[in-house]
Amino acid sequence: MGVSRSTAMLAAAGVAGAIGLGSPAGAQTIYGGYEFRVSNVVSPSQPTATVEVWAWFDFVPGVSELFIAGVFDLVASEGEWSWNFVFPLGRPDPGPFVSGSSIIGVSVGQLHIPQLGFFGDPSNPIWIFAGEWSTTDFTPRSVSLETVNTYNFFVAEWQTGALFEIWPAGFIPGNGAISVVPAPGSLVVLSGALVLVRRRRRDG
């Protein structure tokens, strides 16, 4: 990825003005990616779950860094997403859109320009996005979640603001799952029905 495209992606993520690209100390490989946190198991009594996306990275030991920006698509294997998106670091423009069971064009970022007195949140991992997923099918199953079509993943050095890109080398896509279960009461009713059927067969 060239600097011009990287700068364009950073601007789209709301971090225009960040200082140019560099290399980590000693040219060591750095790792980073996304992880999911799902609010609850989905059932008829709770048909909606909030899916949070968190960014994490493993940088050079002893060097203070923070997450700056990333662009990706959030894909579920099925189900529906609402438009109630949450951007803890600030909402970008333009925002993502829903297409089937995917959220396309999630662009996240924060401003960090120490020279101008702007400092970002150094949390690692850091909460960067959330969306609401729902279904009307409560057949027991696991619905897969993943981040695809990642275009960049940037961190920055705390003191200088110098940018380092963890993509594609060292980048680990997010993978997770939403658990769907039937109503707990329906399991009790089903179990009771099975007991009655067995008794009738024995009595017959």
pLDDT in tens, 41-79: 999 999 999 999 999 998 767 778 999 999 999 999 999
Q: What is the mean pLDDT of residues 31-47?
A: 96
pLDDT in tens, 115-157: 999 999 999 999 999 999 999 999 999 999 999 998 889 999 9
CATH code assigned to 3-203: 2.60.40.680
Asked whether the beta carbons of 156 and 15 are under 8 A apart, the reply is no
- As a whole number of angstroms, the distance between CA 158 and CA 104 comes to 30
- As a whole number of angstroms, the distance between CA 6 and CA 21 comes to 9
Low-confidence winner among 3-17, 91-105, 131-145 (lowest mean pLDDT): 3-17
- As a whole number of angstroms, the distance between CA 78 and CA 93 comes to 27
Q: What is the mean pLDDT of residues 106-123?
A: 95
Exposure of 82 in the CB half-sphere (CA atoms within 13 A): 14
- As a whole number of angstroms, the distance between CA 27 and CA 13 comes to 26
- As a whole number of angstroms, the distance between CA 29 and CA 41 comes to 37
Tokens 């959030």 locate to: 74
| pTM exceeds cut of 0.85 | no
Asked whether the beta carbons of 196 and 188 are under 8 A apart, the reply is no
